[in-house]
Amino acid sequence: MWGLLTVLAGNMLIDALEVSALMVATPAISAELGLSPAAGQWTLTAFALGFGGLMLFGGRLVALLGRRRCYLIALLVFAAASMIAGTSDSVEPLIATRLVKGFCAALTAPTGLAIITTRFAEGTDRARAISVYTLFGTSGFTAGLLASGLLTEVDWRWTLAFPAPVVLVLFAAGLVLIPRDPPAPGPAPLDLAGAWTFVGALFALVYTVSAVPSTGWTSARVLVGLVTAVVLAVACWLIERGARAPLLDAGVLRHRPLLLAALGAASLNGSYLGLLFILSNELQAQEKWTPTRTALAFLPACLPPAVTALRSGRLVARWGAPRLIPLGALAAFLGYLWFLRASAPLSYAVDLLPTLVLVGFAFVVSFAALNAQATGTVPAESRTVASATYQTAVQVGAALVLVLVAALLTVYRPAVRPAAIVVACVGLAGVLVGSAGRKPRP
């Protein structure tokens, strides 16, 4: 049984690692391929779009085909995409493979947790297994940054390719250890139209914003992109309204604590990744830091959440999510304000360290609370959909903030202040959303 947990937790580590794996490598990729920050951000946002944009659809696919089959197929596809990306010399295959890997993560991350809840007996064993699974997930982001820094020093392609052999080992072990399960009787329809219009609208929006630095807001390319995004979003809304089993459950979306938690998490995750994108480009392009030094500089922000992951539940139980969420959002916002006062050349101790410490504190205090509020306040039969909706918001927030920050870095470079202002504004939105969660609904 614990061998099964090793496979599931190991893959969760890889899924979480992929979120940050290219954060430090992106400047090197952009430099070699001749990309602007607006174009280079695709290596990050494509994964977020695949992960978040197809999370709900992935749940339907797992219900139709079965957990074991989907999990193993996703592992093989993930490994193949990693190898293709690692041997690529152009940006198009990088974007395509990152999108595919994001979809694979959307299949395996929630499925792994579902397998744990059915294979481990309720009580101590299940609680311990979920704790291990959560710990590997929270540690993956830190591991991704460090691996990205170290491997980029050799060749940025290794950052893309190195998960492949690890995933193949997990696949071989999974063939033996992952239990067989028949597809669920009478699964809900896949809702292909809803899934592809939703992810299409997101992709069109990100594509449009990334094109602004090179074409301007009034260009035909940007106007057509905006119209396409709006049309697809409206089509998705109409399809979901009329669907017998919609992906975006209106009842779940109307649940106020879940909606506020999703918006708060999107703000926190998006502003954090936006900040790291700014710093990674600034430190390596302007300050001439090495990728490894840059990755190590980020530890005050990403290490505390990983170290305290197993105790985060006690913190939520002691103080309550409505108190912790606005506190964390405020800490992150103050960190972004502190960074706004900085000017080149940057001092790590004075300009960056206080910001990173405050953001790290924000995640320690509020990320588990956001998750608890999102899933713990809905009826038991809706928790799977609620969790997928929440994770969708987290990844979509990351994609939208990243592309906007990257566009501003391209337009105003070498100045970073406009992009930093956007990050601070997103952080302020998190404070407002968190504060709204403390007020009783009239």
Q: Is the pLDDT of residue 298 over 60?
A: yes
Task: Answer yes or no: is pLDDT of 82 > 50.
Answer: yes
Calpha distance 122→272 (Å, rounded): 35
Four-point Cα dihedral 307, 310, 314, 317, nearest 10: 110
pLDDT band at 187 (very low <50, low <70, confident <90, very high): low
Structure confidence at residue 66 as a pLDDT band (50, 70, 90): confident
Mean pLDDT of the residues in the chain: 90
Residue 183 has what pLDDT? 60
- Between residues 386 and 410, the one the model is more confident about: 410
Residue 440 has pLDDT above 80, yes or no: no
Q: Quick check: 439 pLDDT over 60?
A: no
Section 366-391 average pLDDT: 84
- Residue 8, pLDDT > 70, answer yes
Q: How confident is the model at residue 224 (pLDDT cuts 50, 70, 90)?
A: very high
Tell me what the mean pLDDT of segment 201-215 comes to.
Answer: 94
pLDDT at 399: 95
pLDDT band at 346 (very low <50, low <70, confident <90, very high): confident
What would the mean pLDDT of 108-114 be, rounded to a whole number?
86
Q: Say how far apart CA 316 and CA 344 lie, in whole Å.
A: 39
| pLDDT of 442 | 45
Identify the pLDDT of residue 291: 93
Higher pLDDT residue, 440 or 411? 411
- pLDDT value of residue 158: 93
Residue type, 161: A
* pLDDT at residue 180, as a whole number: 83
Residue 172 has pLDDT above 80, yes or no: yes
What is the pLDDT, as a whole number, of residue 137? 85
Give the tens place of pLDDT for each residue, 30-54. Answer: 999 999 999 999 999 999 999 999 9
Q: For residues 417 and 346, what is the distance between their CA atoms, to the nearest angstrom?
A: 13
Query: What is the structure's pLDDT at 135?
Result: 85
CA distances from 427 to 153, 265, 382, 415 (A): 32, 10, 29, 20
Please compute the mean of the pLDDT values over residues 135-155 and round it to a whole number. 90
Q: What tens digit of pLDDT does each residue of 396-438 get?
A: 999 999 999 999 999 988 889 999 999 999 999 999 999 987 6
pLDDT at 96: 95
pLDDT at position 330 is 97
Which one has a higher pLDDT value, 249 or 258? 258
* Phi, psi for residue 23 in degrees, rounded to 5: -60, -45
Region of poorest pLDDT, from 20-24, 74-78, 118-122, 158-162 = 118-122
